[in-house]
Amino acid sequence: MLCQSYAKLIEFFRNIVTSPEFCIKHRNSEKDFSRNRKIPFHFAIYFLLGFSTGSYEKELDSFFKAVKGLDIAENIVTKMAWCKARMKLAYSALIDLNSRLVNYFHAHFAANTWHGFFLKVIDGTTLRLPEIDRIAEYFDPRTPKNRGNRPLARVSQLYDPLNRISCDAIIAPVSQGERDLAVMHLAKLVAGDLVLLDRGYACLWLFDLVLSLGADFCARMPSNWKCVRQFLKSSKREQIIRLPLAPVEKTRCLRHGIHIGSFPLRLIRIELPTGETEALLTSLNDTTGYPFEIFGELYHQRWFVEEDFKTCKCWIELENFTGKSVLSVQQDFHARILSKNLTSMLSFHARETIARRNQDFKQPRQINFAHCLSAMKSAIPLLLTRPLETLATLWQALSALFFKSTEPLRPGRRYPHKPKRKNEFYTCYKRIG
């Protein structure tokens, strides 16, 4: 039964990608992908999902070796043919696929929730881009040229920390603020979502916008707010307050069509193990249903988005782009987010089973997600191109590997942070391995 559920997930994904309507919607012109070629529309997407970090020739040969079932890799498609094919593919296809896949997962799998809420974390970071003029002009035109400065892009995501899934991801020019990108994420919210926000997102118009969508929020507050200073000076653990909107925030509310007015919110004091005190502001005002004691653990869930950014930058090498155009940057970004999500969904059962078994063991363990990503690099072409009747068997073999790929959990272990120089990735010369 479980194998069939995962087989249906892959079948659902494949049916979307291979449908003519999806191709017509996400090609860059009417003539694109209209003739039979060695790289049809769905193969272009499948290849992008393969965590490509090496040379074009090596990655293409490995892909078609798996697809064709060859013993020895053959040079079936040249790198020039691939470059021409990817220019025909709109990156919106990858965004659309990710959105549909996330919705399918939440609808058909026993996804984890917190007190009945789907947790969603909004957070952002920056990515270093190739030093190509057209890329710099689009994403970071303020970068001084010829000074060794890498252009940057602003990245933001709406992340489900309990199920380890990026529900929505955006790469944009670095001039766009994190709050503006957060507004774009809110279109993905539904009633029953609970949004976790860091101090940089603390503003009443954004809180009001979340509430207007039927969702709730919990945000860490900066200490320079007057109401927060007064609260932290008091001895209270929690307090219900009403905050009026400032004129600037009223203008923002009118721009987004938000109801203007003060609303009751709940301030909560959290004492951290480091001795630091933080203030949380939440719309969960029911002190009986949501007691004070649960909010420290709740806000700690926001840390998983930081770990996910580390996964993106270090394990799947999100900054190691495979092309020299704006389109290739967007394709690589959204393809790797989608591949990461697909890996997380296919390893969901193994991750949850290992977590449940931990209570029976002295040394708790967790799934080794880095090894899962490595296994998926070779498994993706097989899962997406082999006959449908073999999907259950493929998932069983993959799941067995996930169960074996575990590592010990060491709660409370801390190490001082030692800054390291980041690896430099060059667009002209790629690794062969």
| CA-angle at 19, arms to 339 and 375, nearest 5° | 20
pLDDT of residue 147: 52
Burial class (CB in 10 A: 0-12, 13-18, 19+), 158: buried
Mean pLDDT rounded to a whole number for the chain: 87
Instruction: For 397-416, write each residue's pLDDT tens digit.
Output: 888 888 888 888 776 666 56
Residue 220 phi/psi, 5-degree rounding, is: -80, 135
Spatial contact of 215 and 193, defined as CB atoms under 8 Å apart: yes
Q: Which residue reads 């040969």 in tokens? A: 61
- Beta-strand (E) ranges in 174-234? 193-197, 216-221
For a pLDDT cut of 70, what percent of the chain falls above it? 89
Can you give the pTM of this predicted structure? Answer: 0.90
Specify the amino acid at residue 317. E
By residue count, the chain amounts to 433
| Three-state DSSP state, 257 | coil
Residue 316 phi/psi, 5-degree rounding, is: -100, 10
Residue 124 phi/psi, 5-degree rounding, is: -135, 170
303 pLDDT more than 80: yes
pLDDT (mean) for 379-388: 89
Strands 152-160 and 118-128: antiparallel
Instruction: For 4-37, write each residue's pLDDT tens digit.
Output: 888 899 999 999 999 999 999 999 999 999 888 8
pLDDT of residue 24: 94
121 pLDDT more than 90: yes
429 pLDDT more than 60: no
Dist. CA 171–CA 227, nearest whole Å: 35
pLDDT of residue 417: 61
For the ranges 10-19, 140-149, 365-374, 399-408, the lowest mean pLDDT is seen at 140-149
Dist. CA 28–CA 172, nearest whole Å: 20
pLDDT of residue 419: 62
421 pLDDT more than 80: no
Q: Which residue reads 């058909």 in tokens? A: 108
Dist. CA 430–CA 320, nearest whole Å: 9
- CA atoms in the 13 A half-sphere facing the CB of 73: 12
DSSP letters spanning 275-326:
S-EEEEEES---TTTS-GGGHHHHHHTTHHHHHHHHIIIIIS-TT--S-SSH
- Beta-strand (E) ranges in 174-274? 193-197, 216-221, 238-242, 264-271
Dist. CA 340–CA 49, nearest whole Å: 9
Q: Which helix (H) or strand (E) holds 88?
A: none
Dist. CA 245–CA 204, nearest whole Å: 7
| Three-state DSSP state, 204 | helix
Dist. CA 243–CA 265, nearest whole Å: 8
pLDDT of residue 418: 64
More confident residue, 337 or 224: 337
Beta bridge partners of 431: 54
What letter would DSSP give residue 414?
-
pLDDT (mean) for 300-311: 92
Please report which confidence band the pLDDT of residue 213 belongs to, taking 50, 70 and 90 as the band edges.
confident
pLDDT of residue 182: 94
Cβ neighbour number for residue 357 with a 10 Å cutoff: 11
pLDDT (mean) for 99-127: 94
pLDDT (mean) for 363-371: 86
Spatial contact of 215 and 196, defined as CB atoms under 8 Å apart: no
pLDDT of residue 432: 47
| CA-angle at 116, arms to 113 and 120, nearest 5° | 50
Specify the amino acid at residue 51. F
Q: Burial letters for 100-139: b for 16+ Cβ neighbours within 10 Å, e otherwise?
A: ebbebbbeebebbeeeebbbbbbbbbebbbbbbeebbebb
pLDDT of residue 363: 77
Q: Which residue reads 């965004």 in tokens? A: 95
146 pLDDT more than 60: no
Q: Burial letters for 270-288: b for 16+ Cβ neighbours within 10 Å, e otherwise?
A: beeeeeeebbbbbbbeeee
